[in-house]
Structures are given as structure tokens and as C-alpha cells.
């Protein structure tokens, strides 16, 4: 069965949780896409979803200019599941009464289920722990709807209209704080919409390989690889489709982690039958970065230089027609999203100019996928667990972890310190439990003693964060003994460092990187 035939459309009203809804649906093995709430009826018809989910959102139905949808959406014969703002909007459309409450209800709540036929099927207990986050609430039910759950003070917590196959919930089933939320969403997908769980990464591979082959024909493809998950999975997938007509280009920009260039090259070489060109361009990058202290300028210089080196290398390959890039779904949503609450975490190299100059067509085989799906896909394709579970590493590399000027010497310092940080947390079994861990070289010198001598040397800050998507993060409560080992090893083993500090800031208001 076509993996895209069973799909759900999520209409976004700007909720911070919209991407979570999509991830829950995908985890249930049903394909879904997020589109802005005003995507329009013709689009919905041509998209052909088996069900529609209306997300929550920050607006109130009483706001002037609050996002609206046409009533026609409910008459397409497609089941609709509306969450929070979506439910209030549904109530309003069908003539119910929505009440503005003075204060926002935010946090855990308990509701009572009155109807176990559809979305609340098979939940065992009548009592349901849910997560609320809303200002308004439905006071009087709209025409044709009845309550299927209520709160302890008898407010409607969920409603349905069986004829229209329209369901609404006041709470957020997509967040983990609604423990049975997953089951409720699955009931909607499988009981109400009659979807089949066909979205798996092994069937995705077949589908993607076929469409890459169709697009590329007998053409040649190039792909930049960085050692990160996204570019490696892209290369592996495209490689599976076109074999040795793919050439990967790996640019060593001089600001990579210790042993990175060699490791990535060796891993891909060993596991895949593709052509790989490794270019050592570190000198060029250092030359350009000389004297530059401003973080955004560093980013620009590295980005531009990368494109230049990549282009020079690409031109050496005759007859290239395509560029493969590891763009993920969150980046795609960001560009179409309503107000874009789901911010992206990564700035892609701007390849527009390159495509034009070299007359290349872009292939982005991961554009439909979330990060966790990319990892699953990587496993299916046979990439090593080490590669798949790697922490994100910024494109500008160690350059934005060296505050002040980037010199080969300062780069060596932070690289050595970084290697110790990683080695120690891997030894402590903590690597896969955190989002990122790294060392930062500060532009601060301080006094110390070593043996009988007074020193005046550099400071290294150690940063470790937990996060689900990089948009928010908290610092890791690292056991003191691990902290102690990292500190003494850095001071003893890395020349030019006599002080180590631990970063205890969360994001927001800080960022993960220091620059």
C-alpha cells in the first residue's frame, strides 16, 4: 500500500505543540502534514486526507482577526479532531457559546469521561489525567454536539457530533502530560478515520529510492557530507538509489572535532559503495577567519567559504545535474508556517546561488521527515549506532566555540578539551542521555599555580544540555565526580588551560552555543 495514501492533515493555528501532534501521528505510523489553518478547501480536497486535526493556538475566538475556518470544512465527509482553540472555534461555528475566562487554565487537570465509544475507547478508567492550556471554554454546546467528557466542575472537556464525525477536546492529547493522549489520538486515527498504519521507514526507503531514480534518471548527483546524521542519511539513501553516480564531498574546514574528518570518511567508506572526495581546506578557512571576532561574521565567512570550496570541487566532476541536501520537515514547516511558532534549529547553507551557477536541481529526500524518523531511517539503511546517535554539531563548528579570534592554536586547545569532555561522558554512560556536550574557549585569562610556578592561562567552559529539539534546553545536572574528572583532565592534559568552569544556564534566556 502507498505509504502516502493514509494521511492526516493538521491545520495549524499557531500552537507551540503543533509539531508534537504531527510526531504523535507519525509515531502511530500514519503520514501527516502540517499546513496553515487558512490552506483553503480546494487544497484540502486535493490533499485528500483521511482525517483533519485542528491544532490549538494562542488566539481567543473573541480576538479581532482571530483565525477562522469555513464551516464547509466539516461537510467534506472527512472526520475532524479539534484541539483546544480548534474546539472553541468548532463550537463557535456551529452556534455554541464560548465563554471568556478571566484567567488561563494551565497545567494538569482531571476530567471524567462520559462516552467510551470513539476517541475515548478502551481507556479503562473513567477518570482521565490531562494537560490544559487555554483561556476560553465552551459554555453551551453547539447544535448537533454532545459532551463526551466533563471537568470536575461540569465544564465541557470534550464533545462530538457523530453525524459529522467531528470531535473536540479542550485539553492537549499530544503532550506527555496527558498520559493517555497517545491512545486518544490513535482512536481518532484508527477507529474514526480508519487509517492503516503503513508509514514505516522500510517502506519509506522503497518509495524514496523509486522517486529519486525517477527524478535523476541517468544523471549524476553530488552531496555535501558533514559527519552529522542528516547528511549521512541523505547520502546513504541517495547512494542506495543511484549507486556510484553519487559523489559525496566532505570539506574539512579546520574547525571540526578531533579525529572527525578521518572518522567520518572511514565510516562512510567502509559502509557504502559511493564515491567520496575529501578536501582539506583548513588553511583557507583559517586565513579568512584571521582577526575576526564577531560571531555572525564567523558564520558568514565559513558558510561562504564552504560554498566556494564545494563548488570548486563539484566542478571537477563531469556532468553533475543534481545536488542532494538533508533538509528536514521542521525546516520545511518553518517556511510555510502560520506565524512560525515552531522555530527551526538550524540554518542551512544557502545553496540558491550554487544551484543557479552550476545549473543543478535540488533533491531533498528527507523533507518529509522529523529527526527521530531520520534516525530510524539511518538504522534501516545500516548506518552505525555511533553515527546515528551523534549530538548535533553546528555548521560553523568549533569557530563559534572559540570566543574571540579563531587561530589554529586556539582551535587546537578547544578541540583537545572537547575530546576529553566527550570521552568522559561516554565513559560515564551519559552521552546518549543528553542533547549536546562540549567545551568553549573563553577570551579570559586568569591566574593559577602549577607546581611552584604561577601561571596566567586560558579558561575553558564546559556546557552540557538536555533538550528535545534544541529550541529550549536545560543544563545537565552532571554528577560531581564526572565533573571533577573532566576538569582535572582538561587542566592537566590541555596545554594553555588552567581553569575550567561549568555552564549552569538554561535556554531561554541563554542559548546552547556561546556565540
Say if CB 293 and CB 333 are below 8 A apart. no
Least gap, CB of 280 to ligand XMP (angstroms) = 21
Least gap, CB of 25 to ligand XMP (angstroms) = 25
Closer to ligand XMP by Cβ: residue 3 or 324: 324
Identify residues 284-323 at the interface with ligand XMP (CB under 6 A): 299
Closer to ligand XMP by Cβ: residue 67 or 394: 394
| Residue 434 within binding range of ligand XMP, rule CB under 6 A | no
- Region binding ligand XMP by CB under 6 A among candidate stretches 66-74, 312-320, 322-330, 505-513: 505-513
Burial 110-122 (b: 16+ CB within 10 A, else e): ebebebeebbbbe
Identify residues 27-46 at the interface with ligand XMP (CB under 6 A): none
- Provide the mask over 435-454, with x wherever binding to ligand XMP is found by CB under 6 A and - wherever it is not: -x------------------
Is residue 84 annotated as part of the catalytic site, yes or no?
Answer: yes
Closer to ligand XMP by Cβ: residue 255 or 512: 512
Distance CA 295, CA 319 (A): 37
Closer to ligand XMP by Cβ: residue 79 or 396: 396
- Region binding ligand XMP by CB under 6 A among candidate stretches 31-39, 155-163, 343-351, 405-413: 343-351
Count of beta carbons in the 10 Å neighbourhood of residue 337: 20
Identify residues 454-473 at the interface with ligand XMP (CB under 6 A): 470
Task: Identify the residue whose cell numbers are 552540557.
Answer: 464
Closer to ligand XMP by Cβ: residue 349 or 412: 349
Distance CA 102, CA 159 (A): 23
Distance CA 248, CA 201 (A): 23
Sole binder of ligand XMP in the list 58, 144, 392, 448 (CB under 6 A): 392
Sole binder of ligand XMP in the list 22, 224, 394, 475 (CB under 6 A): 394
| Residue 513 within binding range of ligand XMP, rule CB under 6 A | yes
Sole binder of ligand XMP in the list 155, 209, 276, 345 (CB under 6 A): 345
| Residue 511 within binding range of ligand XMP, rule CB under 6 A | yes
Distance CA 473, CA 508 (A): 7
| Residue 507 within binding range of ligand XMP, rule CB under 6 A | yes
Sole binder of ligand XMP in the list 275, 284, 346, 445 (CB under 6 A): 346
Contacts of 441 (CB under 8 A, 6+ apart): 401, 402, 403, 410, 413, 414, 417, 458, 459, 460
- Region binding ligand XMP by CB under 6 A among candidate stretches 172-180, 209-217, 247-255, 507-515: 507-515
Least gap, CB of 22 to ligand XMP (angstroms) = 20
Closer to ligand XMP by Cβ: residue 57 or 396: 396
The CA-atom distances, in angstroms, between 409 and each of 39, 53, 240, 257, 288 are: 53, 54, 40, 14, 15
**175, exposed or middle or buried, with CB in 10 Å at 0-12, 13-18, 19+?**
middle
Number of residues that bind ligand XMP (CB under 6 A): 14
| Residue 347 within binding range of ligand XMP, rule CB under 6 A | yes
**Cell numbers given for 360:** 543543478
Q: Which of 32, 33, 35, 84 is catalytic?
A: 84
Distance CA 460, CA 398 (A): 13
Distance CA 237, CA 230 (A): 11
Least gap, CB of 308 to ligand XMP (angstroms) = 18
Q: Which of 32, 33, 35, 172 is catalytic?
A: 172
Least gap, CB of 472 to ligand XMP (angstroms) = 9
Say if CB 442 and CB 463 are below 8 A apart. no
Is residue 493 annotated as part of the catalytic site, yes or no?
Answer: no
| Residue 396 within binding range of ligand XMP, rule CB under 6 A | yes
Is residue 411 annotated as part of the catalytic site, yes or no?
Answer: no
End-to-end alpha carbon distance in the chain: 48
Q: What would the 3-class secondary structure string for 102-157 be?
A: EEEEEEEEEEEECCCCCCCCCCCCCEEEEEEEEEEEEEECCCCCEEEEEECCCCEE
Sole binder of ligand XMP in the list 52, 109, 360, 512 (CB under 6 A): 512
The CA-atom distances, in angstroms, between 189 and each of 17, 27, 76 are: 18, 12, 17
- The alpha carbon of residue 278 and the mean position of all alpha carbons in its chain are separated, in whole angstroms, by 28
Closer to ligand XMP by Cβ: residue 195 or 437: 437
Question: Which active-site residues does the annotation give?
Answer: 84, 172, 174
- Where along the sequence are the contacts to ligand XMP (CB under 6 A)? 299, 345-347, 392, 394-396, 436, 470, 507, 511-513
Amino acid at each position: 500500500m502507498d505509504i502516502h495514501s493514509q494521511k492526516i492533515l493538521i491545520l495549524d493555528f499557531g500552537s507551540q505543540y503543533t509539531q508534537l501532534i504531527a510526531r504523535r501521528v507519525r509515531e502511530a505510523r500514519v503520514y501527516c502534514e502540517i499546513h496553515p489553518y487558512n490552506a483553503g478547501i480546494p487544497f484540502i480536497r486535493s490533499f485528500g486526507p483521511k482525517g483533519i486535526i485542528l491544532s490549538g493556538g494562542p488566539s481567543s475566538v473573541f480576538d479581532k482577526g482571530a483565525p477562522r475556518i469555513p464551516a464547509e470544512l466539516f461537510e467534506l465527509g472527512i472526520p475532524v479532531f479539534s484541539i483546544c482553540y480548534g474546539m472553541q472555534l468548532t463550537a463557535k461555528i456551529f452556534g455554541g457559546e464560548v465563554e471568556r475566562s478571566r484567567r488561563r487554565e494551565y497545567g494538569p487537570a482531571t476530567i471524567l469521561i462520559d462516552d467510551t465509544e470513539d476517541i475515548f475507547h478502551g481507556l479503562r478508567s473513567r477518570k482521565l489525567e490531562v494537560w490544559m492550556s487555554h483561556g476560553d471554554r465552551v459554555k453551551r454546546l453547539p447544535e448537533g454536539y454532545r459532551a463526551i467528557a466533563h471537568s470536575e466542575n461540569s465544564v465541557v472537556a470534550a464533545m462530538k457530533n457523530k453525524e459529522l464525525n467531528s470531535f473536540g477536546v479542550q485539553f492537549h492529547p499530544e503532550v506527555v502530560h496527558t498520559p493517555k493522549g497517545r491512545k486518544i489520538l490513535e482512536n481518532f486515527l484508527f477507529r474514526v478515520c480508519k487509517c492503516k498504519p503503513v508509514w514505516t521507514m522500510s517502506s519509506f526507503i522503497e518509495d524514496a529510492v523509486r522517486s529519486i531514480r525517477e527524478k535523476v534518471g541517468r544523471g549524476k548527483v553530488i552531496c555535501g557530507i558533514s559527519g552529522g546524521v542528516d547528511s549521512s542519511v541523505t547520502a546513504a539513501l541517495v547512494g542506495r538509489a543511484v549507486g556510484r553516480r553519487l559523489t559525496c564531498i566532505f570539506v574539512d574546514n579546520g574547525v571540526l572535532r578531533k579525529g572527525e574528518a578521518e572518522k567520518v570518511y572511514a565510516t562512510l567508506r567502509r559502509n557504502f559503495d559511493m564515491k567520496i572526495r575529501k578536501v582539506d581546506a583548513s588553511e583557507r578557512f583559517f586565513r579568512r577567519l584571521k582577526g575576526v571576532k564577531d560571531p555572525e561574521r564567523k558564520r558568514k565567512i565559513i558558510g561562504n567559504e564552504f560554498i566556494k570550496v564545494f563548488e570548486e570541487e563539484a566542478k571537477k566532476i563531469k556532468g553533475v545535474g543534481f545536488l542532494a541536501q538533508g533538509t528536514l520537515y521542521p525546516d520545511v514547516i518553518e517556511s510555510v508556517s502560520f506565524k512560525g511558532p515552531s522555530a527551526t534549529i538550524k540554518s542551512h547553507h544557502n545553496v540558491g546561488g550554487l544551484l543557479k551557477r552550476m545549473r543543478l536541481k535540488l533533491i531533498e529526500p528527507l523533507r518529509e521527515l522529523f529527526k527521530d524518523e531520520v534516525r530510524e531511517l539511518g538504522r534501516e539503511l545500516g548506518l552505525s549506532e555511533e553515527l546515528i546517535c551523534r549530538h548535533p554539531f553546528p555548521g560553523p563548528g568549533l569557530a563559534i566555540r572559540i570566543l574571540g579570534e579563531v587561530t589554529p592554536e586556539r582551535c587546537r586547545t578547544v578541540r583537545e578539551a572537547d575530546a576529553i569532555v566527550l570521552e568522559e561522558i561516554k565513559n560515564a554512560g551519559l552521552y546518549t542521555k543528553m542533547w549536546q556536550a562540549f567545551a568553549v574557549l573563553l577570551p579570559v585569562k586568569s591566574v593559577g599555580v602549577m607546581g611552584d610556578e604561577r601561571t596566567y592561562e586560558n579558561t575553558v567552559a564546559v556546557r552540557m544540555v538536555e533538550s528535545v529539539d534544541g529550541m529550549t534546553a536545560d543544563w545537565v545536572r552532571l554528577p560531581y565526580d564526572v565533573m571533577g574528572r573532566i576538569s582535572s583532565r582538561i587542566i592537566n592534559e590541555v596545554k594553555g588551560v588552567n581553569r575550567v568552569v561549568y555552564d549552569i544556564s538554561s535556554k531561554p534566556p541563554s542559548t546552547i552555543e556561546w556565540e
